[in-house]
Amino acid sequence: MIAKVRLDLDSNPAEVPRLQARLSALCGEAGLSDLAAFQLTCAIVEAVNNCMKHAYGGELGHPISLLWLRRQDGIAVEIRDRGQPMSSPPPESPVAAETNAESGRGWHIIRQWTDTATYTRERNENVLTLTRRL
């Protein structure tokens, strides 16, 4: 059983499909069901998309790192970037999620498909830690 994996990528959306495939494999190795694997992978992909779109403003060439931690009771994923700090995660907005607006679903997915989502700022880095119980 792989307990700890570090994944590095550039702030380029073209790298995310490769990340998604790797995360799906890690979820499978951790014993998650197909549905749980999809949900956790989707939440992590949304968080990484946010790093690219918001922290780095769509600029390519900036680092994003993920630390995958398999614990006895679940999985924790720490996502780090060196972009603009986030003032705070946007408030949950179930109304927005129910409309046919084009955007505004990313944080809803992150919150609903993880057990905790904790944001901190550490030495010029944004650190978002997502956890999901097994």
Partner 1 sequence: MNLEHRTQDGVDIVKLPERLMMADAADARASIKDIISSGSGKLVLDLADTTFMDSSGLAVLVSSLQAARKKDGDVYLVGMGTTVRALFELTRLHTVFQIFDDEAGALRALS
List of residues 6+ apart from 88 with CB closer than 8 A? 119
Q: How far is the CB of 45 from partner 1 (least distance, A)?
A: 5
Return the residue of 22, 62, 82, 108 that touches partner 1, per CB under 8 A: 108
Return the beta strands (E) in the chain as ranges.
4-10, 63-70, 74-81, 116-122, 125-133
| Binding to partner 1 in span 30-89, by CB under 8 A | 34-35, 38-39, 41-42, 45-46, 49, 52-53
Question: Closer CB to partner 1, residue 104 or residue 121?
Answer: 104
Q: Which listed residue (2, 3, 8, 17) binds partner 1 by CB under 8 A?
A: 17
User: What is the C-alpha to C-alpha distance for residues 15 and 18, in angstroms, rounded to an integer?
Assistant: 6
- Cβ 48 vs Cβ 15: under 8 Å: no
Question: Do 132 and 118 touch, CB atoms closer than 8 A?
Answer: no
Which is closer to partner 1, CB of 1 or CB of 35?
35
The residue within the footprint of partner 1, chosen from 2, 25, 60, 101 (CB under 8 A), is 101
CB 51 within 8 A of CB 83: yes
Q: Which residues bind partner 1 (CB under 8 A)?
A: 13-14, 16-17, 20, 24, 34-35, 38-39, 41-42, 45-46, 49, 52-53, 97-98, 100-103, 105-106, 108-109, 112-113
